[in-house]
């Protein structure tokens, strides 16, 4: 979590609790397979320039923080959406109905689909738009997959074996394989645990259907990937450690293998349904801006809803696109092809000052919730103007 979402955490009064369960990250260190440091990216000036540092927090801790703020009766667990239905707009105003796997339904004026990369809400909405011939071609294409990833979080570790766990800042260490299509990284969490991730870069772009139909992909493949990667060396801790030293300390249920997919969808809303996400910081920023537009609505008529969704899309699309392009480029950087090797070489010589300018453009987006007390715009570099903070301002 970085400067782009921390103002909202502060607005919610959660900053103190957030700091208790997160760890500040001030530098990302890149190593080759001989564990020689090849480059670093420093975040030390982030707080001064962009208002807040970068933090590492585990997902359950973050969820607990948000969950603690919500009235319990507003949350319904174990409900999986299978389809959505948007009613024709009538005199009484239309509605949208969702159906869950347990055959129950829920009905409302607006549906916000925040259900991740494989959003059932998006799928259902797109199916309807496709039938009406209103879905752009690019939104019909399957999501490409460039890599497969093995992730895990250890239990508490011995600080004798991993003394850096006691350091104030989180060590974030990234190793690029020599002549093998893998990168692997480790970073430490505040509870003396280490998160680790191994990314296998696929030579060819593929997609979920291809992966699922590959005979090698199935429950046994996680163990096969563990076997393949456990001898990879890691820079953290005592000398001579390998990924096996963290994998063996990771409860099996905290190890997952996932295909890392992504694409930029053009259609964000239609009728009474709107989508938010994907991207951890991006999803939260989307939610902030969308809620500002929803809060400002004076009724639930179709035109009012469309105006709100349109405003949200306009305010977010450039930033979402920039984020998507940046993470795409970063992914390519660590792939093994010759041209990417060259990019990595150049990358090594990018001075920290240049990184700071890149961060300024990346972290200029620091949206706040319009209907909560605002927090001061911290940082030397001002936040980008935020339209949804001024929806009620008289026209100038
Ligand atoms: C292995 C891995 C590591 C990552 N590491 C990082 C990282 O270190 N930092 C970072 O910033 N990002 C990371 N990401 C990316 C980040 O997890 C996502 O970008 C982010 O979670 C997207 O948020 P979201 O709210 O759109 O979707 P999600 O976080 O996926 O949330 C979707 C929610 O919807 C629920 N849901 C799904 N389908 C349905 C349905 N049909 N009905 C009802 N509910 C449903 C899910 O249970 C889930 O709770 C990582 C992703 C992966 C796969």
Domain spans in the chain, listed from the N-terminal domain onward: 76-142+268-315, 144-261
pLDDT given for residue 16 in this prediction? 97
Ligand 1, atom 11: nearest CA belongs to which residue? 280
Distances (CA, A) of 280 to 30, 117, 195, 287: 23, 11, 17, 11
The CB density around residue 36, as the number of other CB atoms within 10 Å, is: 8
Cα of 348 vs centre of ligand 1, distance in Å, is 31
d(CA 109, CA 126): 19
Other Cβ atoms closer than 10 A to 219:
7
Give the residue, by CA position, lying nearest to ligand 1 atom 51: 260
Q: What is the pLDDT confidence band of residue 215, given thresholds at 50, 70 and 90?
A: very low
pLDDT in tens, 280-317: 889 999 999 999 999 999 999 999 999 999 999 999 99
Work out which ligand 1 atom sits closest to the CA atom of 119. 38
pTM, two decimals, is: 0.91
d(C-alpha 362, C-alpha 360), whole Å: 5
Of ligand 1's listed atoms, the one at least distance from the Cα of 56 is: 8
pLDDT in tens, 60-83: 999 999 999 999 999 999 999 999
Residue length of the chain = 396
Residue where the block lists tokens 């953290």: 236
Q: How far is the CA of 116 from the centre of ligand 1 (A)?
A: 5
Cβ count near 312 (within 10 Å): 24
* Buried-state track 224-263, b at ≥16 Cβ within 10 A, e below 16: ebbeebeebebbbbeeebebebbbebbeeeebebebbbbb
Assigned token pair, 381: 């570099």
Contact predicate 126/275, CB 8 Å: no
CATH topology of domain 76-142+268-315: FAD/NAD(P)-binding domain (3.50.50)
Q: Which residues line ligand 1 (CB under 6 A)?
A: 80-81, 114-116, 120, 149, 151, 258, 277-281, 283
> In this structure, what token pair is assigned to residue 144?
């490409």
Radius of gyration of the chain, Cα coordinates, nearest whole angstrom: 23
Distance between first and last Cα of the chain: 35
Q: Which pLDDT belongs to residue 362?
A: 87
Atom of ligand 1 nearest to the CA of 79: 43
Atom of ligand 1 nearest to the CA of 276: 26
Q: Nearest Cα to 142, choosing from 207, 202, 204, 217? A: 207
Residue nearest to atom 33 of ligand 1 (CA): 115
Mean pLDDT rounded to a whole number for the chain:
89
Closest residue by Cα to atom 10, ligand 1, is: 280
- Grade residue 262 by pLDDT with cuts at 50, 70 and 90: confident
Ligand 1 pocket, mutate which of 115, 145, 189 (most atoms under 8 A from CB)? 115
pLDDT digits (tens, 9 = 90+) for 336-381: 555 666 666 777 788 888 888 888 988 999 999 999 999 999 999 9
Residue 31, pLDDT above cutoff 50: yes
Lowest mean pLDDT among 39-48, 134-143, 320-329: 320-329
């Amino acid at each position: 979590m970085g400067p782009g979402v921390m103002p909202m955490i502060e607005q919610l009064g959660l900053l103190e609790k957030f700091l208790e369960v997160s760890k500040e990250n001030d530098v990302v260190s890149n190593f080759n397979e001989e564990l020689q440091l090849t480059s670093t990216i420093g975040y030390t000036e982030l707080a001064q320039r962009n208002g807040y540092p970068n933090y590492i927090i585990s997902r359950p801790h973050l969820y607990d923080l948000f969950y603690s703020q919500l009235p319990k009766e507003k949350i319904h667990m174990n409900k999986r959406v299978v389809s959505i239905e948007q009613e024709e707009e009538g005199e009484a105003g239309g509605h949208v109905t969702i159906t869950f796997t347990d055959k129950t339904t829920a009905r409302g004026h607006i549906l916000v689909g925040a259900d991740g990369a494989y959003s059932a809400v998006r799928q259902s909405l797109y199916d309807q738009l496709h039938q009406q011939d209103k879905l752009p071609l690019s939104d019909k294409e399957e999501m490409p997959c460039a890599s497969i990833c093995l992730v895990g979080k250890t239990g508490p570790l011995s600080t004798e074996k991993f003394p850096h766990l006691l350091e104030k800042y989180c060590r974030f260490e990234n190793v690029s394989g020599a002549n093998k299509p893998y990168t692997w990284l480790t970073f430490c969490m505040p509870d003396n645990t280490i998160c680790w991730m191994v990314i296998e870069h696929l030579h060819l772009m593929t997609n979920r259907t291809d992966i699922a139909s590959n005979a090698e992909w199935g429950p046994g493949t996680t163990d096969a990937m563990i076997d393949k990667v456990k001898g990879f060396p890691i820079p953290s801790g005592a000398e001579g450690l390998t990924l096996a030293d963290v994998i063996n300390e990771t409860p099996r249920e905290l190890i997952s293998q996932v295909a890392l997919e992504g694409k930029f969808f053009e259609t964000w809303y239609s009728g009474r349904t709107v989508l938010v996400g994907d991207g951890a910081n991006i999803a939260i920023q989307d939610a902030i801006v969308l809620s500002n537009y929803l809060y400002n609505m004076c009724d639930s008529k179709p035109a009012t809803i469309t105006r709100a969704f349109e405003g949200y899309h306009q305010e977010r699309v450039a930033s979402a696109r920039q984020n998507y392009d940046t993470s795409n480029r970063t992914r390519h950087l660590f792939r093994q092809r010759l041209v990417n090797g060259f990019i990595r070489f150049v990358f090594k010589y990018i001075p920290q000052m240049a990184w700071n300018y890149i961060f300024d453009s990346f972290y200029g987006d620091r949206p706040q919730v319009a209907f909560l007390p605002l927090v001061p715009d911290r940082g030397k570099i001002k936040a980008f103007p935020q339209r949804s903070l001024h929806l009620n301002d008289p026209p100038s």
